[in-house]
Amino acid sequence: MRILKDSKYNLTRFLPGIFLLLTLFTSPLLIAQDVNRPETIEGPDFTPQEGPILYDREHPMIGYSTRSPIDRFAKLGRKIAIGSLAVNKDSAQGYLKDLLKNLEIDIESQVLVYSKTSLNTGLIRANNPRAIYFNDDTYVAWVPGTDVIEISAMDPNLGPVFYLFDPDSIGIERHAGQCLRCHDSLTLTGGGVPRFILGSGYTYFNGSLVSHEGWILTDQKTPIKFRWGGWYVTGQHGNQVHLGNIVVSRAEELQDLENIRVNNINRLQSEFNTDIYLTPYSDIDALMVLEHQVQIQNMITQVNYDVRNLLVREYSSAMNSGITPELKTGISEMAEPLVAAMFMTKEADITDTMRGNSGFREKFEARGPIDSEGRSLRQLDLHSRLFRYPLSYLVYSPAMNALPEVAKEIIHERIISILNNANTGDAYSHLDADDRLAILEILKETHPDF
């Protein structure tokens, strides 16, 4: 397999689009040290292919374009590059199926999007949607008509790392600048924090958005009725409505929205040929989890970035006086929005039972960890809220563990304080006594830091 240093895949026919993105950062300081970097790396370093990234300056605490990634796909890619692992190809989906297997991504996680939000814009349309598969840290996207697979992997130190993968043509290419045109969360010219992006908007049959002004970012706070425009949605959700499965030929059709809704469908064969895909589903449970996961990972990114830069600015005082009360207060203020989101504050109402039909829920919940009473933070509710025990399972994630130690300690202390119902305020009133006790017991038994 070839690992190319100069991109030979023609991206000029693609528009910069929306994929999934996250960035985490590192610091040379002991108080913000990089705890996940190995001594040596065998294989290519996967430096970005396009040259300088779009930022006016390289954030010194990141080293995004110079440090070697150690994410799940980077580790797999190096094995492929040096010949210690071979991936198998089939005639239908190319290398997709074997790649997912090696990345430990379940095919049941498949969700299908038909808006042109990808590098592969020329291929995506309502009858040829892009399939996205994911686990807790890696996202794989494939469109029928190409063997080139898009991958976004969450590196514990760098955060989002973008790749293109096809052993028969381009090998493995890492991309940064091309992706940051959309995924810089503050500006396009520097100073931003790259992130994952999920959105919703009315979409024509050819995959174009009816209106860019009508496209919105979505997360766990977004009302269900505004979610999934441009996405297919399978499974049951009762009387709740959403914007999924709506394909229009003319903008005027949207004036009678209720008449064009396509809700509570289990399969998509009537919409397009599903035989080419790994499953015939775009599971509503997977979509709900995906939106939660993206939001929390973006917020972890922001905390990591902000805290590492704060520690650098306060380097001298921190070295002389330790973590002062003022510095701790500043970090606490940075972390509080993340903690609140992990506890599902302001979560959109679920007014009728949701139930996917791909098998995603069973695979997702089985990953645990599970306590001695059979409880897990992965257990879904989907009657009135997303999770049975409303604290994000990403509390276990490498991204959380890679936060500066002082930030991680503050977050864990705040979680314990909330579960003990101390100084929580109205923001956490959705947690009753049983919720708090159960979550605390689960954490104490399954998380080493608690």
Q: What is the reported pLDDT for 52?
A: 53
How buried is residue 90: exposed, middle or buried, by Cβ count under 10 Å (0-12/13-18/19+)? Answer: exposed
What does DSSP say about strands 111-113 and 130-134: parallel, antiparallel, or unpaired? antiparallel
Res. 381: pLDDT tops 90: yes
Diameter of the chain by CA atoms? 68
Q: Assign 321 a pLDDT band (cuts: 50, 70, 90).
A: low
53-94 per-position pLDDT tens digit: 544 455 667 677 778 888 899 999 999 999 999 999 988 899
Asked if 442 contacts 376 with a C-beta cutoff of 8 angstroms, the reply is yes
pLDDT at 277 over 90: yes
- Residue, of 290 and 12, whose pLDDT is higher: 290
pTM of the model: 0.88
CB atoms within 10 A of CB 437: 14
The pLDDT value given to residue 66: 78
For the segment 186-191, the average pLDDT, to the nearest whole number, is 45
Q: What pLDDT, on a 0 to 100 scale, did the predictor assign at position 246?
A: 93
Looking at residue 161, its pLDDT comes to 80
Q: Which of 288, 333, 5, 317 is nearest to 170 (CA)?
A: 5
Q: How far apart are CA 89 and CA 144, in angstroms?
A: 14
Report which of residues 13 and 251 the model is more confident about: 251
Interatomic CA distance for residues 404 and 224, integer angstroms: 35
- Checking if the pLDDT of 379 tops 70, the result is yes
Lowest mean pLDDT among 51-55, 105-109, 446-450: 51-55
- Ranking 99-103, 205-209, 229-233, 439-443 by mean pLDDT, the lowest is 205-209
160: preceding bond cis by omega (within 30 degrees): no
Which pair of structure tokens corresponds to residue 418?
């909330």
Q: Running DSSP on this structure, what letter comes out for residue 92?
A: T
Q: Residue 96: is its pLDDT beyond 50?
A: yes
List of residues 6+ apart from 413 with CB closer than 8 A: none
pLDDT value at 262 more than 90: no
Q: Give the mean pLDDT of the chain.
A: 84
Distance separating alpha carbons of residues 380 and 386, to the nearest angstrom: 6
Q: What is the pLDDT of residue 60?
A: 67
Q: Comparing 434 with 213, which gets the higher pLDDT? A: 434
Q: What number is the average pLDDT over the span 147-164?
A: 85
What is the average pLDDT across 19-33? 36
**What mean pLDDT comes out for the span 419-430?**
85
Q: Which residue has the higher pLDDT, 316 or 221?
A: 221
301-317 pLDDT, tens per residue?
888 878 888 888 776 66
Cα–Cα dist 128/140, whole Å: 17
What is the token pair recorded at 234?
């399978």
10 has a pLDDT exceeding 60: no
pLDDT for residue 38: 55
Burial readout 295-324 (b: 16 or more C-beta within 10 A, e: otherwise)? bbbbbbbbbbbbbbbbbbebeeebeeeebe
The reported pLDDT for the residue numbered 56 is 46
Are the CB atoms for 411 and 299 separated by under 8 Å? no
Q: Record the tokens describing residue 261, joined without a space.
A: 């809704």
Q: Report the percentage of the chain scoring pLDDT > 70.
A: 82
Beta strands at 149-155 and 159-166: parallel, antiparallel or unpaired: antiparallel
> Mean pLDDT over residues 13-17, rounded?
32
Model confidence at 47: pLDDT above 90 = no
Residue with the larger pLDDT of the pair 65 and 142: 142
How would DSSP label each residue in 227-270?
--TTB--BSB-TT---STT-EESSGGGGGGHHHH---S-S--TT
322-368 pLDDT tens trace: 778 889 999 999 999 999 999 999 999 999 999 999 999 999 999 99
What is the rounded average pLDDT of the residues 398-419?
94
Tokens describing residue 417:
């304080």
